Amino acid sequence: MAKKEKSVYQETMHLPKTGFPMRAGLSKSEPARLARWNENHLYEQLQKKNEGHEQFVLHDGPPYANGPIHIGHAMNKISKDIIMRYHAMNGYQTPYVPGWDCHGQPIEHKVEEALGTAAFNATPTAKIREMCHEFAVENLDLQREGFKRLGVLGDWDHPYLTLYHEHDAADIEVFKAMFDRGMIYRGRKPVHWCKHCHTALAEAEIEYADEVSPSIFVRFELIDVPDELKAAGVPVDVVIWTTTPWTLPANAGVALLGEADYVAVEAQGRLGIMAKALWEKVFHGVAKLEDARLFTPEGADAPWCAHGEDLVGLTYKQPIFEGVTGRVVTADYVTLEDGTGCVHTAPGHGVDDYYTGVRCDLPIIMPVDDDGRFYVGDTYGTGGPFSGLDTDEANPKIIAWLAERGMLLAEVKINHSYPHCWRCKNPTIFRATDQWFVSMDETGLREQALDQVLNHVTWYPDRAKNRIGAMVEGRPDWCISRQRNWGVPIPSFTCADCGEKVMNDATLDAVIALFKAEGSDAWFTKAPEEYLGDACVCPHCGGHHLKADRDILDVWWDSGVSWKAVCENRPELRYPADLYLEGSDQHRGWFQSSLLTSVGANGVAPYKAVVSQGFTLDGQGRKMSKSLGNVIDPNKVCDEMGADIIRLWVASVDTSTDVAIDHEILARTSDAYRRFRNTFRFLLGELEGQYDAERDHVAFDDLTPLDKIMVARLTQVQAEVDDAYASYEFNRAYRTLYDFVVTELSNVYLDALKDRLYCEREGSLARRSAQTVLAELLSMLLRDLQPILSFTCDEVMAYTPEGIRDGQEYAALLDWYRAPITLEEAAELAPVLDAALELRAVVTKALEDKRSEGAFTKSQEVRVAATVPEASYALLTGDGAPDLAEFFIVSEVELTLGDEVSATVEAARGERCDRCWNYRTSTGAHGAYAHICDRCAEALEA
């Protein structure tokens, strides 16, 4: 149809009209819509609608309550909302209880910053906890408003907070279950320790960064010397390498590689034993001792050489403490890449060292206190000559001390990757301390957890399974104690009379009851005898003076037991949950802590399925940071473009990997949004106030062939979209719908229908047939897009005819779309559309060529003579063949059999109808009308 020129018959035509605005104005309309949802309790209505139906429980992973929402949060919550809206439309009961992680070091750190460290240290624990509590609640309010603005439906007035009393109690209930199964133990172990934050750190709290460290090569003098080396008549050493000189006071052994060759190097009037593969590098390269050479015993024809395992048991003088003996052992982690092949082993200061110490019965010495200072004293186990020094201060002093005694072979500086504290960014140290642990192997927790993740949980994407599997397989025992204030205490007591640790079912039950009633704050304000009752007794000495210990649980424990505190406790939820969805960093965080506590307490994973998502990066794949100026603030995008644009962006990206967002990407998303909006507007223009399902609906069998083909196509698209949502691949749903709307509907089908819609007689089968398909399309798009474009689809509802909106006011309450025919039926019709589209491509090309020659302006002015091969010919001339002239928007298509698909364009026969501007041989005088076609005459008479 022409746009500028107006038909004189325009008022007799059915031109589109709808109140649905072309301009979205989302940033203004969305808040008003939200207010309406809120006032009318949309979330509660949704729960009511599906009450008694099968549940679908997506358990929310609690974000940390320490700042406004960022785009990663937005992606997380929108993804969850998409899933829940989809399931709700499918009839599931979809309770969504959002949560917040409220305890932990980051919040305590903010409070410490606000107070200043000196004031913080002088403030009583109860007061600090009160301030932390306030901070958490303020921040979660901020986040809650941000999440609601994104259109996320949930029980926002009744979230779960890890600081609730019931959550505190659940922490201890799970602890007790695992304690009773023998999984929790107290052990001395090297843990990452931050001397600035005074706490043990979990692997997840460690960041690796480059650090310059002293790298020293040190001679440890042997006490017993291998016979063949005695003849040399000089002192014999084993040469070690270390980058942490401060750990030398805790040295207890030297580990060699059993199968490697070791040699003795003559230099500086001594022999030094070290790996054959490295001696030149060390003596010539690093120590610059040009004349160093291998020692050959007299009469031997080759330099002395021994396997590491042959040297096991040799003893040496501990480098710092006189009279203390160290011992040579072997270990399989020793490599011949760096150092000397002789590894300084301090079981109190390293994980590998610790296990070697336990295996070889070396003493586990740990002379460093919580502040990272050496204990004062002169015996092994204290700082000795370095008493009272900080580990960093001790490093150069120890090096000087070794040099003075002729033990320092060489010293250089190296730059290497070193563990740092995630909060204060300072380097951490390894320190064996008394901590509480969950044993991964003692009672088979690792094995059970692995079985659950590999065989009983579905992972999206599938590769996430291997990722968490590898992490569970390789992880050490879980250190669950922290030396902080803001958390749930580990429920242990110390007997003031005999020093015994006291923890048993009676004390645990009393603590659970206390936390249920008063929360974990009571631990810090009440004396144990006030709540322990008869349990306030030391089983060891019978004393009644118990002191509450001060360690708190790892914050991952808090969120990890939400399956208990929330899924199991809240009546609308269930355990195990159907789905957890979080970022891929939660493989070592929440996915894992939830798994270990649930398997530990009950033997089953807390989730049946897990969706793992990537991180949000900028358009160039960089992390977002204030300094780069590439931060996309979701609140701001809502204010400027609307939440539906962020929602559409989430749906458009492959969330299973890292995803990109910047202003350019958002602008493209906004363009895509307009395509969807315009399609809604077109559909509403033909249906609003015009289509009455009861009056106008045409049964599938009575549709025109072209309309049948479109219904078949729609059926296929719907199946694809349905499958994509069910597999949590929103971007596949988005892509499928976008391509359908843009390349099929807008560019082809909807254009072809305009003639019938505008010009056919009102109530005619041809027009009703077209309207029926448009109604199906609207019905489908409204439902398929509702999980994504939640605001816009809700807006569409007000203009949507009664019969296609389930009698609902809100789009969220719609039922999922069901296509009118089956996928099999659709498949039968697909070849006709394929053949028609194949021909259309050739016709379009021919039309373009002719039009550029100036042969015509509107395609209605021409007719097409086309040929197609036999198979297509049969399809395009058979019973199911569409009206090709209508489909291609030309006056006539003359189809003949040919070898290939071809098309030629000629002038149309007949004359132009003044009403519809189609060229028809029937055009002429019809009664009162001067120059119109048959079809239009009939329409006018009606």
Which residues bind to Zn ion, rule: CB under 5 A? 194, 196-197, 421, 423-424, 495, 497-498, 500, 538, 540-541, 543, 913, 915-916, 933, 936
CB of 921 to Zn ion, least distance (A): 12
CB of 488 to Zn ion, least distance (A): 21
Identify which of 43, 159, 56, 147 has the alpha carbon closest to the alpha carbon of residue 101.
Answer: 159
- Compute the distance between CA of residue 373 and CA of residue 396 in angstroms, rounded to an integer: 15
Strand partners of residue 374: 368
CB of 423 to Zn ion, least distance (A): 5
Residue 351 near residue 190, CB atoms below 8 Å = yes
The DSSP string of 17-64 is: --SS-SS--HHHHHHHHHHHHHHTTHHHHHHHHTTTSPB--EEPPPPB
In the structure encoding, which two tokens stand for residue 93, read together? 């009961």
- Compute the distance between CA of residue 890 and CA of residue 919 in angstroms, rounded to an integer: 9
CB of 389 to Zn ion, least distance (A): 20
Helix (H) or strand (E) holding 790: helix 790-797
Residue 852 burial (C-beta neighbours within 10 Å; 0-12, 13-18, 19+):
exposed
CB of 940 to Zn ion, least distance (A): 9
Q: Which is nearer to Zn ion, 176 or 926 (CB)?
A: 926
CB of 856 to Zn ion, least distance (A): 18
- Compute the distance between CA of residue 418 and CA of residue 243 in angstroms, rounded to an integer: 11
* Tally of residues, the chain: 942
Q: Which is nearer to Zn ion, 261 or 497 (CB)?
A: 497
Q: What is the largest CA-CA distance in the chain?
A: 132
CB of 367 to Zn ion, least distance (A): 21
CB of 196 to Zn ion, least distance (A): 4
Q: Measured in Å, how far apart are the chain's first and last C-alpha atoms?
A: 22
Q: Which is nearer to Zn ion, 869 or 924 (CB)?
A: 924
- Compute the distance between CA of residue 394 and CA of residue 402 in angstroms, rounded to an integer: 12
Q: Which is nearer to Zn ion, 817 or 919 (CB)?
A: 919
CB of 596 to Zn ion, least distance (A): 24
Fill in the amino acid letter for 559: S
CB of 344 to Zn ion, least distance (A): 26
CB of 939 to Zn ion, least distance (A): 8
Q: Which is nearer to Zn ion, 775 or 939 (CB)?
A: 939
Residue 789 near residue 676, CB atoms below 8 Å = yes
Q: Which is nearer to Zn ion, 197 or 835 (CB)?
A: 197
Helix-then-strand count for the chain, H and E: 32, 35
Q: Which is nearer to Zn ion, 15 or 541 (CB)?
A: 541
The DSSP string of 163-192 is: TSHHHHHHHHHHHHHHHHTT-EEEEEEEEE
CB of 927 to Zn ion, least distance (A): 14
Q: Which is nearer to Zn ion, 329 or 933 (CB)?
A: 933
Helix (H) or strand (E) holding 668: helix 663-687
- Compute the distance between CA of residue 640 and CA of residue 391 in angstroms, rounded to an integer: 53
Q: Which is nearer to Zn ion, 748 or 916 (CB)?
A: 916
Q: Which is nearer to Zn ion, 149 or 756 (CB)?
A: 756
Residue 195 near residue 429, CB atoms below 8 Å = yes
Find the angle CA(78)-CA(617)-CA(143) to the nearest 5 degrees.
40
Tell me 585's DSSP state.
G
Fill in the amino acid letter for 640: E
Identify which of 40, 65, 41 has the alpha carbon closest to the alpha carbon of residue 147.
Answer: 65
DSSP helix/strand/coil, 739: helix
Residue 671 contacts by C-beta under 8 Å, 6 or more apart in sequence?
none
Q: Which is nearer to Zn ion, 196 or 276 (CB)?
A: 196
- Compute the distance between CA of residue 166 and CA of residue 518 in angstroms, rounded to an integer: 9
The strand pair at 293-294 and 261-267 is best described as antiparallel
CB of 843 to Zn ion, least distance (A): 22
CB of 411 to Zn ion, least distance (A): 28
Q: Which is nearer to Zn ion, 712 or 933 (CB)?
A: 933
Q: Which is nearer to Zn ion, 424 or 604 (CB)?
A: 424
In the structure encoding, which two tokens stand for residue 263, read together? 């040699």
DSSP helix/strand/coil, 719: helix
Find the angle CA(557)-CA(560)-CA(564) to the nearest 5 degrees.
110
CB of 496 to Zn ion, least distance (A): 8
Q: Which is nearer to Zn ion, 868 or 932 (CB)?
A: 932
CB of 532 to Zn ion, least distance (A): 14
Q: Which is nearer to Zn ion, 713 or 915 (CB)?
A: 915
In the structure encoding, which two tokens stand for residue 726, read together? 């069910």
- Compute the distance between CA of residue 419 and CA of residue 190 in angstroms, rounded to an integer: 14
DSSP helix/strand/coil, 577: strand
- Compute the distance between CA of residue 826 and CA of residue 830 in angstroms, rounded to an integer: 6
- Compute the distance between CA of residue 410 and CA of residue 776 in angstroms, rounded to an integer: 81
Residue 176 burial (C-beta neighbours within 10 Å; 0-12, 13-18, 19+):
buried
CB of 428 to Zn ion, least distance (A): 7
CB of 500 to Zn ion, least distance (A): 4
Phi-psi region of 919 (alpha: psi -120 to 50; beta: other; left: phi over 0): beta
Residue 683 near residue 774, CB atoms below 8 Å = yes
Q: Which is nearer to Zn ion, 336 or 940 (CB)?
A: 940
Residue 58 near residue 579, CB atoms below 8 Å = yes
Q: Which is nearer to Zn ion, 710 or 933 (CB)?
A: 933
- Compute the distance between CA of residue 108 and CA of residue 536 in angstroms, rounded to an integer: 31
Q: Which is nearer to Zn ion, 307 or 931 (CB)?
A: 931
